[in-house]
Structure formats: structure tokens, C-alpha cells
Structure 1
Amino acid sequence: MSNETPRLQLAGEERSRVAREQVYRWLLFLCAALSVVVTVTIILSLAVDATKFFAMVDPVAFFTGTEWVISRDKYGVLPLVSGTLLVTVVSALVAIPIGVASAIYLSEYASDRARSVLKPGLEILAGIPTVVYGYLALIYLTPFLRNFGLELGTFNVLSASIMVGIMIIPMVSSLSEDAMSSVPDSLRQAGYGLGATKFEVSTGIVVPAAVSGIFSSFILALSRAIGETMVVVMAMGLRPRMFELTSPLQSLTQSGQTMTSAMVQAVTSDVSAESATYKSMFALGLTLFAITFAMNFASNRIAARYREEY
């Protein structure tokens, strides 16, 4: 009996499998290359128009100026950077403790049934439109904070920052919980074997072992906070101010402006597309991109430095 036919069939199936793998490989490569091309295109488009802006406005005055008044052609970016960083810091003070505590509970304390309910419920916060968060901050949160004796204006930094912090809690919680869940159970059992309590195992073993993933969640969440637009436009106002180190509470109770809201104001104002006001949107976008890129680069370096492999 001849084996020629089965061999020919096997050879044909092998060639067909290799051809399919090549097609899949090139499709995946095109998808990866497309993401890189889109990123590079965005950077180039920002850089081209930002160059036109800097031809009209002195770059030194832009990066060191302390006044952003487009009606008087004053384009100092420091008040916008100050407002952006202030919102980011306050939102981090809200989101990081609550997010990490939620992640510890979901990973170490919650039963499977409780986790199946609480985690999707927590992640629903990420699906709420940001305009709703802005509305809640303006209509409900500001009057609520006034009940504690805070003299808040209608538009203020504190309400916007707290609401941005609430908005990014799911990102911190979900990513941190995933990092903690990836820690091997053998490390937990070793801690219990030495007489440690669940709280000691959670905070002394699991969290340090998952610190690289937890820190990455912080950076991603803060990058999201830096780029937030609708909440700060609706609840924070459109009056750029420099953060005052001598009176930080006063800075929080007043209105302010972030880089993203200034970009919205520039593109929606009734100005020519060739004016410095319109082109300032691209300079702000390029500056914001540089800040977020630096944060993500630092995050990757730190995560690689403290990553644990099991």
C-alpha cells in the first residue's frame, strides 16, 4: 500500500498553515505600524502648526510668561501649566488612596461573589460621560463643600479636582487589582506560615510585590487627569491663574484654567485660522504631549526597575 497520498496531503496542509501564519503576521504588523504612523502624524501636525505659532510669539515668552490673556496677545503658558498640575495633584490625592484601598480589598479580602459585583460596579464609573461629572461638580459638589465653611466660587479648582479624582478611581483600582492578583499565592502562604495577618500579608508582601504594576496605574490615571477637558471646563472656569505657594487653599477656592480648556477656548473662539490665538492650540497640544510623554517614559523606566518576575 502506498503512503504517497497521505504525504502529499500533509505537505499541502503544512504549506497552507505557513501561508496563513504569514498573512496573520503581516496583518498584525500593519496594525502595529498603523498605531505608530498615527502617533507620528499627530506629532508632526502639532509641530508644524506650533512652529507657525512660535514664528508669531517668542518661545521664551511662551514658556516663561506668567500671563495668558489672548485678548491682549499675552501667551505665557505657566498659568495653564500651574492649573493643570494643581488639578492633577489634588485628583491624585483623591484617587490613589481610594483606588489602592479598593484594589487591596478586591484582591485580598473580597469573596468571588462580592468581587463579581463590586468590580464591574466600580468600573461603571469609567463609562460615565465626563460632561456628567462636570455637571455634578458644578451643581452638587460645590454647594456640598460650601456646607463645610469653604468659601468657594461658582467655578473653583477644588470641586473640579475632586471630581477628576473620582473619575480616575476605576483606572487605579482595576489596574492595581490586576497587578496584585498576578502575585503568586506561594508568597501569601509563606507570609501566613510565618504568622502574619491578612492585613500584614496584603500591605507587606502583596503590595510591594505588585508595586511596578501599581505605579504604572498611577501614571496612566494621572495622564488621564492631565488630559481631562469637560470637567475642568464646566467646574473650574476659564480664568488662568498662577498657583500661589503662600496661599494654596485660596488657589483651590478660586477659578482657574488648564491647558486642555485653553485649547478648547482657542479653537471655539471667533478668530482666524491663521491667527496666533488659533495656532496657540497646537503649541499647547505639543507642550501637553511632551508632559504626558515624559510621565509615561518615567513610568516605564520605574516599572522596569522594580518589576518582579515569578
Structure 2
Amino acid sequence: MSISFLLLIVAIIGVAGYLIGSWRANALAGGKLSSLHSRPGYYGSYVAVWSMLPAVVVLLVWIVASPIYISSTVRAGFPEEVKATSQAEQNLGYNMISAIARGLRVLAPEEREAIFKDGSTARTVLAGKGVPLAADPAPYMLTSADSLNRMSQASSTFLAIVVVLTALAGAVFSYRVIAPKFRARNRVEGVMLVGLIAASSIAILTTVGIVASMLTEAVHFFNRVPAWEFFFGTVWDPRFAAAGSTDSSGQFGLIPLLAGTLYIGFVAMLVAVPVGLFAAIYMSEYASRHVRSVAKPLLEVLAGIPTIVYGFFALVTVGPFLRDLSAQLSGLVTGDYSNFIQAQSVLTAGFVMGIMLIPYVSSLSDDIITAVPRALRDGSLGLGATRSETIKRVILPAALPGIVGALLMTASRAVGETMIVVLAAGVAARIQINPFEPMTTVTVKIVSQLTGDLEFTSPQTLVAFALGITLFVITLCLNIYALYIVRKYREQYE
């Protein structure tokens, strides 16, 4: 039985429980609802909650625990010579067993018998069913795949029985406790409060999980490579090791990547801040209502464009344009039409990233400027100041803390950008100050270190987690400082 169908059955039991619970509450009231502690709907909701919530919890626990148990049981049945191999080889074998199991489910009985009689035909038969295998399966793989299917089917059957029985038991229990003085509303609202607390905790728990996972692997990296070599190294040359190797040869200097990240982000902010801030001033102070209603949504459309599209734009349009423009300028000045701006460069990536950040700056700044009290504007204009003087001497100083916070949050967005840098700035990790040459960032190297079939056992792959935790700390500090500025000066002009 599929999970979706099982959830549908639980939902039907819950709806039936709601109707039966409400009916029983009305019957106990005898037409006098004032004799009930809660409205009939709360009694029905109480029955529905007890019908669905325990069943869903059992379903979730089973979904998590069952694959773990089945996998450990199947692996325990491996031959001793297979158990003696590395964990990576056992994982590859289990993946092939899973693929064979999927193929066995769609085979006719005679095809299954042919495979088990002659294992050499398994690869051909399964490939004909759309399950290609990299090699001929070993005999133990066929037996394990059959065992995997049988356990999975048994688990699915038992899951359906247990979940349905749990839902019915919850409905019967909650139905029996219904009484006129039963505090159904308090119980239902208590469950809803727990649900709201759980929902609000998801973001916190997710952040804690992300940090814990990165920090754990980063510690493994620093056990192999000294921290001072990583944080103060000036050469990035990881030298990928072979699969299964723990070779720590190579240089893992963070400085070139950090320099590229800050340099490209700085160029992007040089583009985004003036354009975005001036656009916000125009829309909040000068534009008519009609113009604002059209311009603001059109400007914010830029925020909805995928970053890979900006990368294509930089690679196909902006980069070649800057390269050809530099060649023309060089020809006019020196007569040599060699370009001094490369198609992939800090300037290209920073310019396109700045375009992407414009709606963040303008939207946040517009909201902050609009929130400045109207009395400050009227007082300045009433004293004889012009509109431009009011903006420069009254509105912008009043909105400055919020604008600075918005710019810092935008900077943290720029630091974490990946796709634009990959296509517009290249992957060269080096330290230089020429904006017309390529550089790379921390995020690009995180992607490159984790691309391909790699094991998380060598410094060449574990370094990605050290880079990730470093980038997380940088963006976290920017966001904390932005919130500090906003909160410190928020009440100064209220």
C-alpha cells in the first residue's frame, strides 16, 4: 500500500471522527449547548486529532526506521569475503542489490526463475526492463535482492495494518472520553500550541543541524591539515587524491579564495548600491503613485530571475562586450587591438552580480525610507527647505541605520553567490588586484571540491566543509552586525 493512499485512509478516519465526535457532543447536550464545556466542533476536533496524529507519528517513525533495519539485515547476510571489503565497496554492492530488487518486481515468474538458475543472464534481462547494471551481479546479490523485496513488502503490509489500527484506536479512545464537562477546547488548543512551537523550531533546528554537520566534517579536515595553514595559506592547490586515499598532499590556502570573494562582492556592491539606493529615493520621494506601481514591480522582477540566467548573460553578453570594448579602446590609444579586459574577470562577475543585487537594495531601502515619519518631511518643507535638501539632510539621516543594515544583508547575499562567479569569473584561485583578470570565490571551490563520485575521507573533499563553515561565519557576522545597527538606532527617529 502506498504512503499517499495510507495517508488518505487516515484522513478519512479523522474526518469521520470529527463528525462522530460532534454528533456525540450534540447528543449529550440534548439541545442545550450551554451544558457543554466547549462547542461541539472542539469535541469533533479532539477525536480527529487523536485519530490522525498518533497514526501519522507511527507512519513517520516507521518510514525512518524501516529502511535502516532492512539495510542492516541485508548487509548482515553478505558473505564474509564481502564484509571484509571497504565500506565504500559494500555501499556499491548494496546499491546494485537495490537496483536488482527494483528490476525483480517487474519481472514475470519465468524470467525470475531464469535469472536465479543462471545468474549470467540477469544483467541482460534487467537491462531489457530498464534497469541497467554496471557488471554481472554476483550470486549473493540476487539472493539479497530477493530478500530485500520480501522484507520491503512485509514492512509495507505491517505498516498499513499498524497505522490503520492506531488511527482506529485513537478514535475509539477519544470518543469514549467525551463528556459534557470534558475540556475539549483546552486539549485541542494545547495540541495546536505544540504544533506552532514545532513549526517555529524548524528553522532553528535546521540551522543547528547544518552547522553541526559542517563543523563535524571540518574538524576531521583540521585533524589532517593544520588550521594555520588553511586560514593563512596563500596558495590553493588541493591536488585531488585517488578514491579511498587519505593523502593530505597539496596546499589549502584560504586567502586567495577569500580575496576573490571579497573583491567580487565589493565590485558588485559598487554597482548595486548607487543604482538601488537612487532608485529607492526616486520611487519613495519623487515618483507618482502610478509610476511607482509600475516601476517597483518591474524592478523587483530582477530578484526572481535565476542566478544561472545571470551567469549565461555574463558569459554570452557582458563578458564578450567588455573584452571587445577594451580591444577597441586599446586600438584607439596604442594602435594595438589586444584586449586588456578578459571575458571572464572580476569586473564581469561583479557587474552582473551588482545587477542581480539591485532589487534587494532598492526594495529594502524603499521600505525603510517610506517608514520615515511624515512629520519630519512636513517640518523640513515647512521651514523652507527644498525637496532635495529634505532628502539629504532629514530623510536619509533618519533612514541611515536601516539602509546600512539593508546593505550589509545585501553584502551577505553577494558573498554566497556561486553560479554567476563560475561562468563570469572563472575558477582561477589567485591573489591579484587587477579587476580585469579572473579570480574565484569560496563558493565556487566548495562546488568543485564536492563534484563527482568522491569519498568524504580525504582532505581534498573535507576542505569543502571547512570552506563552508568559514563562509557561514562570515555571513552570520554580517547579518548580526546589520541587526545590531538597525536595533541600536531604530528608536532614535520614532
Q: TM (normalized to structure 2)?
A: 0.58
The CA deviation string for residues 210-243 of structure 1, in whole angstroms up to 9 with x for no partner, is 2222112111111110000000011111110113
Alignment partners' CA distance in 1, 2:389 and 2:403 = 18
Where does the alignment leave 5 or more consecutive residues of structure 2 unmatched?
1-31, 43-182, 240-248, 330-338
1:248-267 maps to which residues of 2 (within 5 A)?
A: 248=433, 250=434, 252-267=435-450
Indicate the residue corresponding to 1:39 in structure 2.
207
Indicate the residue corresponding to 1:70 in structure 2.
238
Whether contact under 8 Å (2:322, 2:343) holds in the other structure is no
The CA deviation string for residues 227-260 of structure 1, in whole angstroms up to 9 with x for no partner, is 00000011111110113xxxx3x2x111111000
Indicate the residue corresponding to 1:82 in structure 2.
259
User: What is the number of equivalent residue pairs in this alignment?
Assistant: 299
Structure 1 counterpart of 2:374, from 178, 185, 205? 185
Indicate the residue corresponding to 1:163 in structure 2.
352
Whether contact under 8 Å (1:211, 1:306) holds in the other structure is no
CA RMSD of aligned residues (A): 2.1
SS of residue paired to 1:268: coil
Alignment partners' CA distance in 1, 2:424 and 2:282 = 32
How far has the Cα of 1:19 moved from its partner?
5.9
Alignment partners' CA distance in 1, 2:409 and 2:191 = 33
Alignment partners' CA distance in 2, 1:282 and 1:126 = 28
Alignment partners' CA distance in 1, 2:185 and 2:205 = 30
1:1-310 maps to which residues of 2 (within 5 A)?
A: 12=38, 22-71=190-239, 73-146=250-323, 147-148=325-326, 149=329, 151-243=340-432, 248=433, 250=434, 252-269=435-452, 271-308=454-491, 310=494
The CA deviation string for residues 32-91 of structure 1, in whole angstroms up to 9 with x for no partner, is 211100000000000000011111111110001000011261101110000000011111
Alignment partners' CA distance in 2, 1:8 and 1:195 = 70
How far has the Cα of 1:23 moved from its partner?
4.6
How far has the Cα of 1:205 moved from its partner?
1.5
Cα gap change, 1:27/1:195 in structure 2, threshold over 3 Å: closer, same or farther? farther
Structure number with larger C-alpha Rg: 2
Cα gap change, 1:160/1:194 in structure 2, threshold over 3 Å: closer, same or farther? same
How far has the Cα of 1:17 moved from its partner?
6.8
Deviates more, 1:194-203 or 1:259-268: 194-203
Higher relative CO (Cα under 8 Å, sequence separation at least 6) belongs to: 1
Which residue identity does 2:268 align to in structure 1? S
Deviates more, 1:273-282 or 1:20-29: 20-29
Where does the alignment leave 5 or more consecutive residues of structure 1 unmatched?
none
Deviates more, 1:159-168 or 1:138-147: 138-147
Runs of 4+ in 1 over 4 A off after TM superposition: 5-9, 13-24
How far has the Cα of 1:144 moved from its partner?
2.1
The CA deviation string for residues 82-126 of structure 1, in whole angstroms up to 9 with x for no partner, is 000001111111111111111111111111111111111011001
Whether contact under 8 Å (2:307, 2:419) holds in the other structure is yes
Whether contact under 8 Å (1:271, 1:277) holds in the other structure is no
How far has the Cα of 1:270 moved from its partner?
5.3
Alignment partners' CA distance in 1, 2:222 and 2:358 = 38
Alignment partners' CA distance in 2, 1:131 and 1:172 = 20
Alignment partners' CA distance in 2, 1:24 and 1:105 = 45
Alignment partners' CA distance in 1, 2:264 and 2:374 = 38
Cα gap change, 1:269/1:253 in structure 2, threshold over 3 Å: closer, same or farther? farther
Alignment partners' CA distance in 2, 1:138 and 1:51 = 37
Q: TM (normalized to structure 1)?
A: 0.90
How far has the Cα of 1:271 moved from its partner?
4.0
Cα gap change, 1:62/1:109 in structure 2, threshold over 3 Å: closer, same or farther? same
% identity of equivalent residues: 40
SS of residue paired to 1:234: helix
